[in-house]
Amino acid sequence: MCEVVCGQKAHILGPEGHTLNREKCTVCGACAAVCAEDALEVVGYEIDEKELIKFLSRDKAFYEETGGGVTFTGGEPMMQAADLKRAAVLCVAEGIHVAVETASLAPWKNFKKVDPCIDLFICDLKAVTGELHKMGTGADNRLILENLKKLMDIRADRMWVRIPLIAGFNDSEAEFSKIAEFLAGRGVARVEIMPYHDVGISKYGALGVGYPLKNDGIVEKNHIELLKKTLRDAGVEHVV
Amino acid sequence: MKDVYSNELPKFDLEEFMVSMSYSPEGMTTNLARQIEREVGKKKPVPVREADILDRALQMLPIGIYDDDVFAGNYGPDFTDTRALSDAKEADEAEFTGGEGYRLSTEDEKLISGRYLLFGVYTLAHTCLDYELVINKGLKYLKEKVKDRLAHGIDEYGESYLKAMLKSIGAVQGFAARYLEIAEEKLENCKDAKRRAELERMIAALEVVPYEPAQDFYQALQSMWIIHTTVPAAERSWASISLGRMDMFLLPFYEKWLKDGHTREEAIDLIVAFFKLLDSYGDGSCALNFGPDFNELTKTILDAEKKAMYRSPIVDVRMREDTPDEIYDQYVDKDLFYIGQPTFYGEDINVKAMEYRGMSDKDGHSINSCMGMVVVGKEIADMWGCCVNMNIPLELAINKGKPLMGEFPEMLQKYLDDIPVREPDSIEAIKKSYEEYMQGILAYVADQNKKKAAWMAMNRPNPLLSLMLDDCIMFGRDRAHAAFDLLGDEAEQFMPNDQFDFEEVRKDRGVRYHNVTVLSVGFAHAADAIGAIDELVFQKRKYTLDELMEAARNNYEGSEKALRIFADLRKAPKYANGSDYADSNASFVLDALADACEEQYVGNIRFIPTCHTIDANVKFGRAMYASLDGRKDGEAVGKNAGPVLTVIKSTPTDFMNAAAQIPNIRYSGGVPIDIYVTDNILQTKENRDKFRGLMRAYFKAGGMQVQVNSVNIELLKKAYEEPENHPHVIVRKGGFSLYFTDLDKDIQKDMIDRFEKEIG
């Protein structure tokens, strides 16, 4: 039925089955609405900051009872600092706690811009070793480390560092010793290891994208505990 | 136009539904006893006949005591031969397929209930007995009360009813005596010292309870079990008979038990043995009720619940705004969540709801199974006594008084004839008509309910149950008698014979609080449809009402236009999906139902709306044609107070925000919402604290009831594929616990879909 309601003719039903031409798709959602098998789904939509705050405020009572709030997350919010600030200021005015999840790969001026209205930064730290970071992510980590240092200087008690842990990438004791050295004694409110899992496989499939890693990145429980110990022994506080 | 009589889309079978509400255990002899009494009891007053049926049933019931039984109370196939079993089965079949209590009056009633999902019936059982009174004072106290009432003079019918109560007490005593005899025989032949001691304890108890007050913790449980067996046998239904505040009324017995040198572990074993009986013979909605008054026994019973891991009893907990975190923490427990327990209730709002429906005498209130708060020993809750398909008033409102498909039979149409036919030229006009048609429909279903209840009171009275419910002794009337009185002259047709004078019999009432819950089926669809009509027809003027109706009649198939309408309807704002507008439409349709229910209050009968569908949302949906929100022919309707399936992926707070907007205080029949959590979520204190906060916020916002579903999704899928290998996977459905593999395949699939979508 999707091909009938699609004004852009983005859906093609051929002998090979169904394909979606994403170039033509305008994300109008008509196809997803009629899909009998719920195989199509529109994820995300545009919203202005006032509507957004109205929507977020619906849950205010829950934030208050659970100590929760709003978390702005990726696509990288720190690359959209002006928009982020407009929304965050409205949250603060409503008394809603604001957190930002970031890979920290953004100009420091962006951090400075939003700093007053962010209650909590949750910063990724994937690797301290430059080449390793480049190899795993394709990006240079010097700016990331610099930003983290600056944040730790001014608001360590209002930031968390999150280490995505991936087997074969950053799970060596050597790398963790470097991470430990970077974080030790800085008083970061929470340092958490986030072990890789593969529940994203189905999402990649739904987007028509190949999934290269599969089960290879999963780290064993005992090893995770060992790495946590490495951090704690080196003087990193609040490791969870 | 489709033929509403055809079974191309299978109709809902109300007769089958009424039978299904009995949950009769195998080997039960009530219907067999009825067959025999039908001949020998012809000339007896009906209440006396019913007491004799109970006596005969309990005498014929195949009972026994297994070598490892802790309490006396087992019965069923193991204790009889195939011949006797097949006699009982045949009697059940005859009663269930042709018995007056399970038959609808006409084909028209079958169509109205089966196709349009509008009905009124009387559902048996569903009450919370006053076990505290029985174990502390014994049946002899009630016997004295009845005798005292007789001594003060009462009309002829009242006299026969009270005498039937006395006979019922005798029947229960006789039943206990049968176990006593077997236990004595067992003792005679037993050489094992430990077993002898157990049998001696059993004999000592059976010599006392339930006629006399219980003397210790063991005897209290034995007394409860005998009552819990005999009342459903008399009622012919094991549905939702709950235990009340067991941790409170058993506490003195428990403390004395410990003081006498017994241990907590022994107590847990006794409670587990008691639960085993409940699980073997009751339905999955027999509820334990705990609250903020947490004590040592509460903890012991919870430990027994976790040890037993049975389907029954379920655990309901009442939480107040001032309930300390430590008490919450006792219930936000991963082992309890694993077995789908507990269901959380906001006590403050539930008590207010009782006040709203006029229950002044609400001390000692308790949760009855999955249906909200009741007053123990003073109330019957005729669950789903009425059912309303919430889409029908909308169809009538936009189609000038006619349903989209077919025509209503005269027995329903006459309730709608006086309603002015209004042009559906604005959303306001449609809403006005919606309210008026709702009133007409309620008048119909409430009348049907009163007729069934009146028939029940006069033709299937239950003197044993009535004995235990205030104020049946005072009036000498059956628990459901209010309906017989309040129906007016029409009730005369339900007089079983001319032994008594109609005018004299009809006066007075039975139970103090006679509540009938009115199930709203598909309210989210009706609400979403109103929003979509407002947007597409009146604001954007994209389609006409006729075009929408035509598309719905054709199941949104057959033309490109129908398909486009379907797409637009599905894209319109939905209830419980973050839209204030859609949520306000849900409040509108539910308020319309509540208004109509309150119009039908009569005497002490209260019609109380509820969103409590359990899993019937699948079965009801199967019978319903496409609705105006884009739901297609036969698709399941929304479950409980939840949204339609297409938007179920919204967050728990979306549900909670939306459900808190429902006029909860008017919905004391229950506004359950289902929260699905992955089975590892409660492993950290941080997450447990968050969960507690979620409950607190919801109850503070006016929410009533949250049911937790914490089952491993992979396990459910395996149980779906290989039921034979997973017979003991317990799941929850609307306050009810049951084994997953006992559910219909369709319902299993629906649960997996919902669970999967919700935890996303």
Beta bridge partners of A101: A122
Q: What's B370's DSSP letter? A: T
Q: Closest to B570 (Cβ–Cβ): which among A34, A61, A65?
A: A34
Mean pLDDT of A146-173: 96
B544, burial (CB in 10 Å: exposed 0-12, middle 13-18, buried 19+): exposed
Q: What is the pLDDT of residue B283?
A: 80
A–B CB contacts, 8 A cutoff, strictly below? 57
Q: What is the pLDDT of residue B728?
A: 62
Q: What is the pLDDT of residue B751?
A: 74
Mean pLDDT of B564-586: 92
pLDDT above 90 covers what percent of chain B? Answer: 74
Q: Note the pLDDT tens digit of each residue in B127-178.
A: 999 999 999 999 999 999 999 999 999 999 999 999 999 999 999 999 999 9
Which residue carries 């012809």 as its tokens?
B42
Q: What is the pLDDT of residue B401?
A: 97
Query: Interface pTM (ipTM) of the complex?
Result: 0.81
Residue B645: list chain A partners with CB under 8 A: none
Q: Is the confidence at residue A70, as pLDDT, over 90? A: yes
Q: Are B705 and B345 in contact (CB under 8 A)?
A: yes
Query: How many Å separate Cα B179 from the centre of its chain?
Result: 31
Q: What is the pLDDT of residue B358?
A: 87
DSSP strand E in chain A: where?
Answer: 11-14, 17-20, 70-72, 98-102, 120-124, 159-165, 190-195
A61 CB near a chain B CB, below 8 Å?
yes
| The model's pTM | 0.89
| C-alpha span between B64 and A229 (Å, rounded) | 61
Residue A58: list chain B partners with CB under 8 A: 578, 580, 653, 657
Fill in the amino acid letter for B505.
V
pLDDT-wise least confident of B251-265, B624-638, B655-669: B655-669
Tokens for A150, please give them. 């600056």
Q: Is the confidence at residue B758, as pLDDT, over 90? A: no
Mean pLDDT of A193-218: 74
**Shortest alpha-carbon distance between residue B753 and chain A (Å):** 11
In degrees rounded to 5, what are phi and psi of residue B345?
Answer: -125, 140
B564 CB near a chain A CB, below 8 Å?
yes
Q: What is the pLDDT of residue A15?
A: 80
pLDDT-wise least confident of A26-40, A216-230, B557-571: A26-40
> Which band of pLDDT confidence, cut at 50, 70 and 90, is reported for residue A203?
low
Q: Note the pLDDT tens digit of each residue in B292-314.
A: 889 999 999 999 999 998 888 99
Q: Closest to A62 (Cβ–Cβ): which among B567, B646, B697?
A: B697
Question: What does the longest C-alpha to C-alpha distance in chain A come to?
Answer: 63
Total Cβ atoms within 10 A of residue B191: 6
Q: What is the pLDDT of residue B132?
A: 97
Q: What is the pLDDT of residue B447?
A: 97
Q: Note the pLDDT tens digit of each residue in B698-753.
A: 999 999 999 887 767 777 888 888 877 666 676 765 555 667 777 777 778 877 77
> Which band of pLDDT confidence, cut at 50, 70 and 90, is reported for residue B664?
very high
Q: Is the confidence at residue A195, as pLDDT, over 80? A: yes
Peptide bond connecting A77 to the previous residue in cis, omega within 30 degrees of 0: no
**Among B319, B344, B566, the residue to mutate for chain A (most A Cβ within 10 A):** B566
Report the candidate in B39, B96, B29, B104 with the shortest Cα–Cα distance to residue B62.
B29
Which residue carries 């009056």 as its tokens?
B105
Mean pLDDT of B39-45: 87
**Shortest alpha-carbon distance between residue A120 and chain B (Å):** 17
B570 CB near a chain A CB, below 8 Å?
yes
| C-alpha span between B422 and B129 (Å, rounded) | 49
Tokens for B219, please give them. 């005897």
Q: What is the pLDDT of residue B760?
A: 46
Task: Please name the residues in contact with B543: beta carbons below 8 A apart, sequence gap of 6 or more.
Answer: B536, B537, B565, B568
Q: Is the confidence at residue A36, as pLDDT, over 90? A: no
Mean pLDDT of B453-479: 97
Chain-chain contact of A66 with B694 (C-beta, under 8 angstroms):
yes
**What mean pLDDT is reported for chain B?**
92
Task: Please name the residues in contact with B710: beta carbons below 8 A apart, sequence gap of 6 or more.
Answer: B334, B337, B338, B340, B676, B677, B678, B679, B681, B682
Q: Is the confidence at residue A200, as pLDDT, over 70? A: no
Residue B646: list chain A partners with CB under 8 A: 38
Chain-chain contact of A65 with B689 (C-beta, under 8 angstroms):
no
Q: What is the pLDDT of residue A16?
A: 75
Mean pLDDT of A195-201: 72
In degrees rounded to 5, what are phi and psi of residue B258?
Answer: -65, -40
Interface of A with B in 114-133 (CB under 8 A): none
Mean pLDDT of B85-94: 92
> Which band of pLDDT confidence, cut at 50, 70 and 90, is reported for residue A199?
low
Interface of B with A in 600-659 (CB under 8 A): 630, 646, 653, 656-657
Q: Are A27 and A40 in contact (CB under 8 A)?
A: no
Ramachandran quadrant class, B77 (left: phi over 0; alpha: psi -120 to 50; beta: rest): alpha
Q: Note the pLDDT tens digit of each residue in B381-428.
A: 999 999 999 999 999 999 999 999 999 999 999 999 999 999 999 999
* CA angle in degrees (0–180, nearest 5) for B651-B655-B660: 145
pLDDT-wise least confident of B87-91, B590-594, B677-681: B677-681
Q: Closest to A4 (Cβ–Cβ): which among B560, B657, B689?
A: B560
Task: Please name the residues in contact with B294: beta carbons below 8 A apart, sequence gap of 6 or more.
Answer: B327, B330
Q: Is the confidence at residue B648, as pLDDT, over 70? A: no
Q: Is the confidence at residue B562, as pLDDT, over 90? A: yes
Chain-chain contact of B566 with A33 (C-beta, under 8 angstroms):
yes
- Helix boundaries (H) for B662-739: 685-700, 713-721
**What mean pLDDT is reported for chain A?**
91
Peptide bond connecting B471 to the previous residue in cis, omega within 30 degrees of 0: yes
| C-alpha span between A78 and A127 (Å, rounded) | 19
Q: What is the pLDDT of residue B23?
A: 81
Report the candidate in B484, B389, B455, B612 with the shortest Cα–Cα distance to residue B102.
B455
Q: Are strands B365-367 and B373-375 parallel, antiparallel or unpaired?
A: antiparallel
